Structure 1
C-alpha cells in the first residue's frame, strides 16, 4: 500500500512538472511571437540622402535602414511621388538608385525629400496614395515621418543648367521662435546673355511656402528677400532653402516653441469638453478617465496655440458627473491612438483635470454673480 501511494505521488508530481514546462514554454512563445513571426511592435527606420548631381531620371539614397522592410519614396513637395524604390527587405541598404517612371512625373531635380514607408500589407507593392493613406504608412520617429532632404542638380551637357538662374548665397537666422517672421535673403544670378524671367521659390522642409517671378538682365545678380511667418511650424531643426528651376541653396534653422505647452478646460457638456491649448507639435487633445483609458479626442491640431478646441467623448463612453477626467496633450494622430505619445514639459505630462459636476457648478456660480450684479444695478 505504501509503495502504491509513493508511485501515485510521483506520477502526480511528474504531471505537475510537465504542466509547468508547457505553461512556461507557451509563455515564452507568446512573449516572443512578434519577433518569431517578423512583426515589429514599433517599426523603426533611418535614412541618409545627400546633395548630389544627376541626370534628372534617377537619384541615389546613400543609406536606409528598415526594421520591417518597405520602400523609399521621392517627392518634391507635391501630393504625388516622383519615384518609388523597389521593395526593400528589412535591414540596412546602401547606395540605392531610385529611378522615376519615364511616363510619369517631373525630373528628379531641385530639393527632393526621401521618405521611408512600410510595406503593410506585406505584398511588395507601394499603395500609400492609391489607398488614401490606409496602407504602406511612413515609418515614424517622434510622431513625424522618417525622411531626409537633398538638393539634386543636373549633370546634363545640353545647357539646361546654364539657362537656369543660380542661387549664389543664402542668409538666414540660425534660430527663431515659432511665432515670428524671419527674413531669408538669397543672391540670385542670371548666367545667360539674355534678359529673362524665372520663378524663385522658398521651401521649408521641401514644402513651397512662397514663390515669385523674378526678371533679371543678362549677367545680373540681385538679392531676393522672403519674409516667412513661422507660425504653425513644428519646433526643432528645419531645412530652409531658396530654389530656381535647376539650382538652389539650403540652410538649417533651429525653431523653438514660443511658449510653454499648456491646456485649460473652458467649458464642458454631455458630449465632451472645450479647451484652450498651446501644443508644440502636431497632435491632439485626449480625454482620459480615472482608469487612464482614452475616452475621447479632439481633431488633429497643428503646432501652435488654439482656442475653443472641442474634445468629444467616444460614442460608447460612459462618464459620471463626479468622475475625474484628465485632458492630456498628445503628439501623433488621433486616429492612431496607440502610436501617440503624451507630450511632456519639464519631465511631466501636459495635462489638467476636470469633472463635469465641478464645471457645471462653476458655470452656475458665474451666472449667479452676474444676476446679483444686475440686481444691484437695478436697485441703484
Structure 2
C-alpha cells in the first residue's frame, strides 16, 4: 500500500467522523430548537366558562387564550361535540359565542364542558373527530386537556318538562367568604306527578349547598337554602340555584373574611411549616435571597394551618440565615406564571431565620418585614 493511499484513507476516515459529528450535533440542535430559536415547545391555553342562561342554541365563553390558535369545543360527556367555535387566532378572546352544530342531537343546556383544541390539520376547519383524534388535539396542561365546565340553563321554560324549574332567586348582593347566607328560590314542578329532585346552590359552578326537594305535581314552593360560603373565592361571583335541567342565577360580591397573611411556625433543614390566610387559589413559597427554594401544595382560598413546604435538595440554608415565606396566586407546578399576592399595595410575606422559627421566636407572627423588623401589618413589601 502506498503512502498516498494510506494518507487518502486517513482523510476519508476523518471525513466520515466529521460527518457523524455534524449529524449528531444537528440532532442535538434540532432537539433543542424550541429553546434556541425561541419557539414555544409546549403550546399553552386557558379558558373561563361560567354558568349562564341561554336559548339552547348558543353558549358564551367568557375568556379563552391560545398560544397557537385553534377552537373551543363544547361537549356534554358524549362522544360527539355539540358545538365548535369559529377558528380563533393566537391570543386572548373574550365573550366568544359558540353555536350549536346543525346535526347536534340536543340543545346546549345542562352540565357542559368547553375544551380548547389546537389547529394542526392542513384542511380548513376543526378535524379532531374526522381524523380519529390524530389532528386538532386538545391543548394540555400537566397532561390533561385544558377545559372548564359550567351549567347552562334554558330561558325557555318549555324546553324541559321533567325537571323542577327555578322561577326566581334571591341572594345577598354582598357577603364574606366565611359565613352562612340565605339563598331563597321559588321552585315548581311542571309535571302532573309527585317527584323528588335535588336542588343545589352553586358559586361559579361549584356546589356549596344541596337539598332534596319533594313536590306534588304542579306544586310551587319557596325554598330557603342555608349556604356556607367558606372556601369560595373572593370577588364578584355568579351564584345560582339549580335543579336537574333548570336554574336561575344572580351576582354576589364576596369579600375575603380576613386580612391575607402568612406566618412561619416551625422550620428545619428540609422543611418549613407555615400558617396562611390566602384569598385566592395559590401556594406558599419559601425564598432565599430572592430565589424560590421550596413551595407548598396548592391551597384553596381560606385559612390553613400546618402547611408544609419542602425545601429543595440544593437549598443550603444556615440556621442564622433568613428565609421569606410569600403568598403566591397560581399553581406550584408553574411557578414562573405565578404572581405574589398583595394586600393594600404590599406583598404578603414574612421573613425569619430558621433558628428563630425552630425556637418559636417568630411566634407565628406574619408581621415581620423583609428586613426582619416588626412592621405592625399583616403584609410587607419584599
Normalising by structure 1, what TM-score? 0.68
Partner of 2:328: 330
Quick one: distance in 1 between partners of 2:173 and 2:73? Answer: 29
Partner of 2:131: none
Give the 3 Å change call, closer, same or farther, for CA 346–153 of structure 1 in structure 2.
Answer: same
The answer on whether the counterparts of 1:281 and 1:331 sit within 8 Å (CA) in structure 2 is yes
Quick one: distance in 1 between partners of 2:332 and 2:120? Answer: 22
Deviation at 1:316, TM superposition (A): 2.4
The answer to whether residue 133 in structure 2 is matched with residue 134 in structure 1 is no
The answer on whether the counterparts of 1:174 and 1:253 sit within 8 Å (CA) in structure 2 is yes
Deviation at 1:148, TM superposition (A): 9.1
The answer to whether residue 296 in structure 2 is matched with residue 295 in structure 1 is no
Give the 3 Å change call, closer, same or farther, for CA 82–303 of structure 1 in structure 2.
Answer: farther
Three-state SS of the structure 1 residue aligned to 2:202 is strand
Deviation at 1:164, TM superposition (A): 2.8
Partner of 1:350: 348
The answer to whether residue 152 in structure 2 is matched with residue 151 in structure 1 is yes
Deviation at 1:337, TM superposition (A): 0.5
Give the 3 Å change call, closer, same or farther, for CA 296–65 of structure 1 in structure 2.
Answer: closer
Q: How does 1:220-239 map to 2 (within 5 A)?
A: 220-239=219-238
The answer to whether residue 87 in structure 2 is matched with residue 85 in structure 1 is no
Quick one: distance in 2 between partners of 1:351 and 1:64? Answer: 31
Partner of 1:218: 217
Partner of 1:258: 257
Deviation at 1:205, TM superposition (A): 1.4
Give the 3 Å change call, closer, same or farther, for CA 233–272 of structure 1 in structure 2.
Answer: same
The answer on whether the counterparts of 1:202 and 1:208 sit within 8 Å (CA) in structure 2 is yes
Deviation at 1:255, TM superposition (A): 0.5
279-288 or 211-220, which moves further after superposition? Answer: 211-220
Give the 3 Å change call, closer, same or farther, for CA 207–72 of structure 1 in structure 2.
Answer: farther
Three-state SS of the structure 2 residue aligned to 1:51 is strand
The answer on whether the counterparts of 2:82 and 2:104 sit within 8 Å (CA) in structure 1 is no
Give the 3 Å change call, closer, same or farther, for CA 84–194 of structure 1 in structure 2.
Answer: closer
Higher helix proportion: 1
The answer on whether the counterparts of 1:112 and 1:206 sit within 8 Å (CA) in structure 2 is no
Structure 2 residues without counterparts, runs of 5 or longer: 1-36, 122-134, 364-382
Structure 1 residues without counterparts, runs of 5 or longer: 1-32, 139-146, 366-380
Partner of 1:245: 244
Give the 3 Å change call, closer, same or farther, for CA 49–177 of structure 1 in structure 2.
Answer: closer
Deviation at 1:73, TM superposition (A): 4.9
Give the 3 Å change call, closer, same or farther, for CA 74–111 of structure 1 in structure 2.
Answer: same
Q: How does 1:30-109 map to 2 (within 5 A)?
A: 51-54=53-56, 59-61=58-60, 66-68=65-67, 69-74=69-74, 85=84, 88-90=88-90, 95-99=97-101, 108-109=108-109
The answer on whether the counterparts of 1:121 and 1:136 sit within 8 Å (CA) in structure 2 is no
Deviation at 1:108, TM superposition (A): 3.6
The answer on whether the counterparts of 1:111 and 1:248 sit within 8 Å (CA) in structure 2 is no
Quick one: distance in 1 between partners of 2:295 and 2:61? Answer: 40
Partner of 1:305: 303
Give the 3 Å change call, closer, same or farther, for CA 196–293 of structure 1 in structure 2.
Answer: same
Give the 3 Å change call, closer, same or farther, for CA 165–49 of structure 1 in structure 2.
Answer: closer
| Cα-to-partner distance string for 1:165-184 (whole Å, 9 max, x where unaligned) | 22111110011001101111
The answer on whether the counterparts of 1:277 and 1:306 sit within 8 Å (CA) in structure 2 is yes
Quick one: distance in 2 between partners of 1:102 and 1:160? Answer: 16
C-alpha RMSD of the superposition: 4.2
| Cα-to-partner distance string for 1:186-228 (whole Å, 9 max, x where unaligned) | 1011223333333322222122333333222232110122111
Give the 3 Å change call, closer, same or farther, for CA 204–114 of structure 1 in structure 2.
Answer: farther
Deviation at 1:264, TM superposition (A): 1.0
Give the 3 Å change call, closer, same or farther, for CA 357–206 of structure 1 in structure 2.
Answer: closer
The answer on whether the counterparts of 2:182 and 2:225 sit within 8 Å (CA) in structure 1 is yes
Partner of 2:198: 199
Q: How many residues align?
A: 312
